């Protein structure tokens, strides 16, 4: 019907994130008792959190003029200034970071933030030079894979695998093999890591920061699940930022995915560049998430919301999911679960899996269980792809009965696969 540009080919050629969101959308829209939706990243509807958002919306409605402005007036492309001041003040009080409103930029969700940042820092440069993004721990977030506007955009590094017990393991950055070559424009990690639930230690982050500084490139830290919010972290860590670190936050996993509010904390030069890109691509950002959350940042109430509602809710869900895996999986199977240190997921590794993770995904889908096959997360690394082709990501954010039943079905199907 029409000829696609190279840009269009890049964005319409199919992707893991497209498959994931398509499955998520159909499962949630069509639903039914036979669907066990363990494949998406949609946060849970936490009753106490929902009450907070309903109360905030009622306050906005009562104020009248603020509600009207939220819906009927464009915010600047950089984001709402009061929100930026509130967030900067919160970060100053909580961590002593030297940040102001000029360090804060807003985008239409975290996915948009990384599209801008990746293509700002990597890709084609003057003189025919090309730069890539280095992912120090792969498997890494599925949504990065197709965001680069060019070929060979990412270089992924397979981590060390530390075995913690008969059916438990953890990824650690393999610094002995990690090299920041001259063609690297940025390092990027998620913390906690999607898909594995891995949380890089403070020492690992400090080491990566030092490597990035030595190479004269920024370190991007994707904090979609981390501290200070939404705080879905089950181990003790120290959040870190400096002007060589680009930190991204999001309101999605705080319970506001529909508001599409991504946040960048970075050097003002980065914020100005992203704001220009945001203006061209999107004109302005959504206002609702910023309006809902601003008073919680100003008062510090957001800290209470995270500590009393969000974090304990997901930590309990994670513990339940691990317990059900131990209950339903045959102990004789060569299965391994990554240490659950944060985020909404468990990462299962079936060592020596007789079929591919994609084939297992199809078999599970036929039985009404939706997960995500691991190879989609193996970005820029053939070694990681071989490993991840034996892995699945499952979400534990849905109702407990759905998660338990889904895990039982996965255990049964995996046992059938190994049995031949």
Tens digit of each residue's pLDDT (9 = 90 or more) over 1-13: 677 777 777 777 6
Average pLDDT score over residue span 258-267: 97
Question: What's the mean pLDDT in 32-50?
Answer: 88
Listed in sequence order, the residues at least 6 apart from 193 whose beta carbon sits closer than 8 Å to its beta carbon are 137, 139, 140, 141, 171, 199, 200, 343
pLDDT band at 26 (very low <50, low <70, confident <90, very high): low
Residue 379 has φ and ψ, to the nearest 5°, of -95, 120
- pLDDT tens for each residue of 199-226: 999 999 999 999 999 999 999 999 999 9
- Give the separation between CA 157 and CA 306, rounded to whole angstroms: 32
pLDDT bucket at 242, cuts 50 / 70 / 90? very high
Distance CA 349, CA 169 (A): 9
| Closest by CA position to 169, among listed 177, 160, 182 | 160
Find the range with the poorest average confidence among 60-74, 180-194, 264-278. 60-74
Pairing of strands 154-156, 130-135: parallel
Confidence label for 35 from pLDDT (cuts 50, 70 and 90): confident
Cα(207)–Cα(68) distance, integer angstroms: 48
Rounded to two decimals, the pTM is: 0.94
- Pairing type for strands 262-265 and 245-250 reads antiparallel
Write the burial class of residue 162 (CB in 10 Å: 0-12 exposed, 13-18 middle, 19+ buried): exposed
pLDDT value at 350 more than 70: yes
Is pLDDT above 70 for 25? no
The rounded Cα 418 to chain-centroid distance in angstroms is 31
Please state the rounded mean pLDDT for residues 324-335: 96
Domain positions in the chain? 6-49+305-419, 76-300
User: Residue 120, SS3?
Assistant: helix
Residue owning tokens 């809902």: 292
Question: What pLDDT is recorded for position 250?
Answer: 96
What the block records as the tokens of 15 is: 């992707």
Distance CA 367, CA 361 (A): 10
CA dihedral 253, 254, 258, 259 (to 10 degrees): -120
Asked whether the predicted pLDDT for residue 27 surpasses 80, the reply is no
Contact call for residues 379 and 145 (beta carbons, < 8 A): yes
Quick one: 133 exposed, middle or buried, by C-beta within 10 A (0-12, 13-18, 19+)? buried
* CATH 3.90.1150.10 matches 6-49+305-419: yes
Residues 6+ apart with CB under 8 A from 177: 157, 158
In the chain, the percentage of residues whose pLDDT exceeds 90 is 89
Distance of alpha carbon 307 from alpha carbon 49, whole angstroms:
11
**Whether the predicted pLDDT of 129 surpasses 60:** yes
For residue 291, what are its two tokens? 């309006």
The class of domain 76-300 in CATH terms is alpha beta
Please enumerate in sequence order all residues whose Cβ is within 8 A of that of 243, keeping only pairs 6 or more positions apart, or say none.
266, 267
């Amino acid at each position: 019907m029409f000829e696609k540009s190279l840009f269009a080919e890049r964005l319409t050629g199919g992707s893991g994130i497209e498959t994931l969101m398509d499955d998520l959308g159909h499962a949630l829209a069509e639903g039914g008792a036979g669907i066990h939706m363990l494949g998406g990243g949609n946060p849970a509807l936490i009753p106490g959190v929902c009450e907070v958002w309903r109360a905030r919306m009622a306050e906005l409605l009562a104020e009248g003029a603020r509600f009207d402005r939220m819906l009927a007036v464009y915010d600047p492309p950089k984001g709402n200034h009061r929100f930026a001041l509130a967030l900067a003040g919160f970060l100053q009080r909580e961590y002593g970071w030297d940040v102001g409103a000029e360090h804060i930029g807003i985008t239409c969700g975290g996915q948009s933030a990384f599209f801008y940042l990746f293509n700002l820092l990597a890709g084609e440069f003057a003189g025919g030079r090309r730069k890539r993004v280095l992912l120090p721990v792969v498997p890494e977030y599925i949504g990065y894979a197709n965001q680069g506007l060019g070929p060979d955009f990412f270089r992924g590094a397979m981590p060390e695998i530390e075995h913690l017990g008969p059916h438990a393991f953890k990824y650690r950055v393999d610094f002995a093999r990690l090299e920041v070559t001259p063609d690297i424009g940025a390092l990027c990690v998620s913390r906690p890591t999607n898909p594995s639930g891995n949380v890089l230690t403070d020492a690992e982050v400090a080491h990566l920061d030092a490597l990035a500084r030595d190479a004269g490139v920024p370190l991007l830290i994707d904090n979609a699940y981390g501290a200070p919010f939404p705080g879905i972290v089950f181990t003790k860590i120290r959040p870190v930022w400096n002007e060589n670190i680009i930190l991204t936050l999001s309101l999605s996993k705080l319970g506001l995915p529909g508001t599409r509010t991504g946040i960048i904390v970075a050097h003002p030069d980065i914020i100005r560049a992203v704001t220009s890109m945001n203006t061209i691509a999107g004109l302005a950002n959504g206002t609702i998430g910023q309006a809902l959350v601003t008073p919680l940042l100003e008062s510090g109430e957001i800290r209470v919301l995270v500590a009393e509602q969000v974090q304990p809710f997901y930590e309990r869900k994670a513990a339940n999911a691990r317990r059900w895996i131990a209950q339903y999986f045959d102990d004789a199977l060569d299965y391994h679960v990554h240490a659950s240190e944060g985020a909404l997921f468990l990462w299962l590794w079936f060592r020596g899996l007789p079929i591919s993770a994609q084939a297992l995904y199809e078999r599970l889908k036929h039985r009404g269980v939706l997960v995500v096959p691991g190879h989609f997360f193996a970005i820029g690394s053939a070694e990681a792809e071989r490993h991840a082709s034996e892995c699945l990501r499952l979400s534990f954010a849905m109702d407990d009965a759905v998660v338990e039943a889904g895990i039982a079905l996965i255990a049964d199907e995996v046992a059938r696969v190994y049995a031949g």
